[in-house]
Structure 1
Amino acid sequence: MWSIASSITRYSIPEEIEEGSVVANLATDLGLDARNLAKRKVKLDYINSKKYLDINKETGELYVVEKIDREYLCPAKTSSSCFLKMDVIIENPIRIFNIELEIIDINDNAPQFRRDIINLDISESATPGERFSLTNAVDADVGENSIKTYHLSESSEFTIDIQTGSDGTKYVDLVLNGTLDRERQAVHNLILTAVDGGIPARSGTASVVVQVLDTNDNMPQFDRQVYSVDLIENALTGTLVMQLNATDLDEGTNAKIIYSYTLYTSEKTQEKFSLDPDTGEIKVKGGIDFEEVKSFEMYIEARDMGTTPLAGHCKVLVFVTDLNDNYPEITVKSFANKVKENVAIGTVIAVISVSDRDSGDNGKVALSLHNQGPLPFALNKSSEEHFALLVTEPLDRETASSYNIRLQVKDSGSPPLTDNETITLEILDVNDNAPQFPQSFYTIHLPENNEPGALLSSLSAFDPDLNENQYLVYFIMEKEIANTSMSMLFSINPENGNLYALRTFDYEREKEFLFHIEARDSGIPPLSSNVTVQIIILDQNDNAPLIVSPWHAKGSVIEEVIPRSTDKGHLVTKVIALDADSMQNSRITYQFLQITDTTLFSLDQYNGEIRTTRMFSYRDPRHQRLVVIAKDNGEPPRSATVTIKISTVEKVVTELTETTEVPLEYDIFTDLNLYLLIGLGSVSFLLLITVFVIIVLKCQKPKPTMATAPNRNSIISQRSSTIADSTLISSDAYWYSLFLAETRKGKIVVRQPLPNGAGYFVSSIPRSTALTETSESRASTLQESSSDLP
């Protein structure tokens, strides 16, 4: 008789429990008498595994006989539970008990990747956001002890995204954050770490090696855009002219470069030179003749072999140089190797011939002496190929007991070829030498406003004698200019010849000085020589322009009144400035510094004329303010300004023609009574002239088609000394300045004296109308008004 238990008895033990550990007391748990177990036959029947447990038959205890590995026992991870199932069979009578022993997992396994290195190839053209699958890590543990998350080492280009599958498995993708540049970084080494959820947590790592694949994003580059190379004519076929070297930052076929001529390279050039498409070598292909072509231009393209090829370009300039392959020769025909130092000047000491087998300029030769320092010899050319070596200065044995005369012959080729020959001449002693300056005339340029004591130049003479005969003393030979001695203006160091300026000079007062400096040796009797020195004072831009027309007191504003009906191109006023400097420093240009309305007035930058550029409209303000700057061309430039206030009226009080308008002259006197008297007389004089001019104008009958435009100057504006169309009472300086300015514009400038020597009328008349009736009538009016003046 036997029975089977109707229920399952379950126990739980941790994984890797130690051997001999008691799991449970079956006698107690199953309700058996432990004393009877020893008499009864008890055994364990394992259903799904080998024998891990056994029963102590005397006590009924279930104990561990072999260490249990949960991952080995339950390799499949379909469930988080792992059971060890067994039957306890007891005989006499037979009873069967079902027992399930749950093995509790512990975190005894770290995550592991199937491969230690994960290699990825990613194109550098990949766009941000692209994902790349990575190999997952595995963890033999289950539940919380399995893989919980992944971590990626710090990277600005990559991050990871973790996904969880339906079975709880963690999957990881590599995500591109930014753009890749293979040329900047070709390989990215990353560390991927898998971490489980155990306590303490365990982790495993794998190296992620991202190889950036190249795309053709870089064009070939030459190190220069233009290459220049010289090539001798008649170069042999195959001669290397130059080797081009373009570089491409890509790799593989994207970096392989093919060189070729572009369509801009002439066929004739391609016939003369070959271009290796692979190496970029340019070699001579045909005959190169300087007389035929002196230079070649080659336009080269370097193209890579990418799917979408890119190209770079350069230009090669080849300059052909004439071939000069024969050296000139020197032949000494005769030579007297010993002469006395008092030998007569002009004595021939050697006859020399020269020759060159080349032709043209390459065969033209010149013989010259190439000795350092003074050399008392000269070459006299007696024919194309023969020269005589002459004594040109007294010889001095004390200075040089012998001379190594170096002859050099040079042809006119390019580059020139030379030959040298040295002959040695022994000097036999006699006596006598005087000091010598390197130059007979010195021109020294000295900028004005110099600092007193400035070093001007070093005027050193040379005396080839010895001892006291070569000790020189320098001094200025006295000369007076305007009752001033030269020694008051300049000083020379008696020992070394250094010349100094003793005071500051002004170009506007003194422009040059001419005097002599003497060098005297200490011999007995002393010998001397002198040199002429010219000091030229250079102008500096130390004078600002002075505005002389329209005249105005310093700081005052010029006021002009013109009718609002003035036509376009009407001359408002003319600014004239003078500069005391010279050349560029006195060349003056005019500009608006401030202007109320830039569309209303124009200023000629060269003659200073201010004209209207359009007619006035009802919207234009009645008052316009112009600030004109007159700037010279010095460095740095200097300038002066004048402010002109222009008022517009509906109709001027008095209309005058351009040739009869007379401005007021301003003279400044120190005596107040005389000033008042002259002022009163001037006003009366001007009033009489004005009345007389008005009467003359009323009597004239102008042509109907040539109506006189309203003049810009009224009685109010005359106080500013501004004259319409360049008419003014002028001094000689003003007259000359106006003459130059108006003549350049093609006008005729007329100057006539005022009565009693009070000044001049200066008028500019267009050349095209100089002989018309209108011009004649204006001239007659001027003459009449001048003759009637008191």
Structure 2
Amino acid sequence: MEFSWGSSQESRRLLLSLLFLAAWKAGSGQVHYSVLEEAKHGTFVGRIAQDLGLELAELVPRLFRVASKGHGDLLEVNLQNGILFVNSRIDREELCGRSLECSIHLEVIVDRPLKVFHVEVEVKDINDNPPMFPATQKNLFMAESRPIDSRVPLEGASDADIRANAMLTYTLSPNEYFSLEKPNDDERVKRLGLLLRKSLDREEAPEIFLVLTATDGGTPELTGTVQLLIKVLDANDNAPAFDRTLYVVKLPENTPNGTLVMKLNASDLDEGSNADIIYSFSTDILPNVESKFHIDPITGEIMVKGYIDFEESKSYEILVEGIDKGQPPLSGHCTVMVEVEDTNDNVPVMEFKSLLLPIREDAPLGTVIALVSVSDRDSGANGQLTCILSPHVPFKLVSTFKNYYSLVLDSALDRESVENYELVVTARDGGSPSLSTTASMYVEVADVNDNAPAFAQPEYTVFVKENNPPGCHIFTVSARDADAQENALVSYSLVERRVGERALSSYVSVHAESGKVYALQPLDHEELELLQFQVSARDAGVPPLGSNVTLQVFVLDENDNAPALLPLRPGAGGAGGALSELVSRSVGAGHVVAKVRAVDADSGYNAWLSYELQPAAGGARSPFRVALYTGEISTTRSLDEADLARQRLLVLVKDHGEPALTATATVLLSLVESGQAPKASSRVLAGAAGAEAALVDVNVYLIIAICAVSSLLVLTLLLYTALRCSAPPTEGACGPGKPTRQRVCSGEGPPKTDLMAFSPSVPDSRDREDLQQATGDHPYCHV
């Protein structure tokens, strides 16, 4: 089977289509492709989305993008099909010069979550550069006396391509005088030369024209030519000669101007002016060499005159001529190879890319926050970089590819502890001494709703006097939320419940923003002594968080109930609400003849009753008295005939409130002879004896109760003062400054729950039942 390749242009197009290489994956997420230089716009490079494991549908939502450091938009990705293609002209020689390896490094970045991939696209060389000589024509001067087999060095051509495309072969146009000397592979500097094969005769051939052709090894071959004009000269038949054809000198970069590189010395076997040598650079020397070095024409010293930078050029090839002063002048040649040694003179360069800020405080470990790239123009150890992160931060640097790092979350964040971090990244090279660069970045921590509002204490005790005005501010609750913005915006509400037969919201309300608690109606101690409820605090986060606090509102008693007289006991005479009793005139002093009974709906001192006998009309001294605390009426002396048969007594019943409230009882006593009221007398005597015993017992209990109340009051004041000092000032506008009594029984309904120290006027169980039936009051909770 035979193949016909056709024209060279068709072969080139076929090579372009056949030389695309398949992509393969390597470690660290790197993908390799290759593409020929000078490929046309739209040339397929690789299915980059498929090779990176990305779905086509997620390229746009995840902000798929490709960045190429320093190479513009040579390559582009079609987001519809995920294909990497050539976007603009790629010139390998422009990108990488004569370097054997040439790649375009791409950073492929996707967000949500943030990921970075590294893609290398190798740029393959094509034979698009022909060999180039320094000049199109070169003039050579040779004495006719030049010996056979003498060598004249020639400047070879250069080819910007690499490998086979830059492997040059030389041919010389046919002639009878010269042959071409080609360099050997083992020569360090591969120089061309002309070898004289036939003696020159100026009179026969004063000028010889030759064409030197250089052909590269590419397909198709490209060529370059230079015309050689050889002028045959007379006389001076010994050319200057250097002791070596190649000198190698090592020169550190950044060497100051005027530094001696080396001193050349050529010798000439002639005498006089024919042996005087002038040193100069060859006319074929490159411009960058001539701008960096200077040669003294007399001494042959080569000195530095420009900035020597290893990163600009790693070596310089200096072609030197030694020309004598003979007529015609003869020349000798040598090459000085200056190898530049790298010094650590470049500080690492750092760049942050794709910052994911701020970062949520609940971000999972391993979240990529930023991409960091570092570079150093030095080489070897001077260009080897290490990156470190300032200590004691919850982040770390993870190497992803060569000098690329990802800044990732290493430990849990808590915005309430640290709101932002200042990170210091240091890149240090391996030179001696090493150079480093630092860069700072601030990482802000975004708040999430992970803290519920918190009250200073779980329970508050509030004291409010009864009969408060409606809408009175009684307390202020306050909760603090450690979060920020909406997550810390606290609103307050009541935890609704039933208080007896009514809803809690009919008694109190709380302002949603300020936390102020208001009493919606006057509170009645006799109806409700303790109102216990909860206030809820909720933040505005999503989802919202909250907590509750308990308020115990004690309704303090005021003296708003006057003493109430109990109805006449069964069997007692009287009319119109007055108490009537028959008293025998024969009773002696201290005999109990009657008893006034009264109660007070208030509590404590406000319900402690005392009894006083009002003076009789006309100032007459009454033979009766009333016990201060029991209400028992007894004789002060023995009765006699002079005493009126009908005695009208007015008893004032008064409580101990401020101001005191009173009630008046009328007692009608009828004095009879001893034989007329035997039953009454025996009853009165028995009652007097029992009353006397009861009076003693009641007084004892009264004293004990008053002492207990006083002790509890003092203890309550001390505890309340301590709580008030330790808690924030939240006293209501109409609440009392100090509590006035101690609660010892609790209840939500009408039963009374205060500590009551009953005075001697408190009736026995039968009397209390009478009072409940008459007033509808409920039993007291007492000790």
Shared fold (TM-score, shorter chain, > 0.5) = no
Bigger relative contact order, structure 1 or 2 (CA pairs below 8 A, ≥6 apart) = 2
TM-score (norm 2): 0.37
TM-score (norm 1): 0.37
Q: Which has the higher strand share?
A: 1
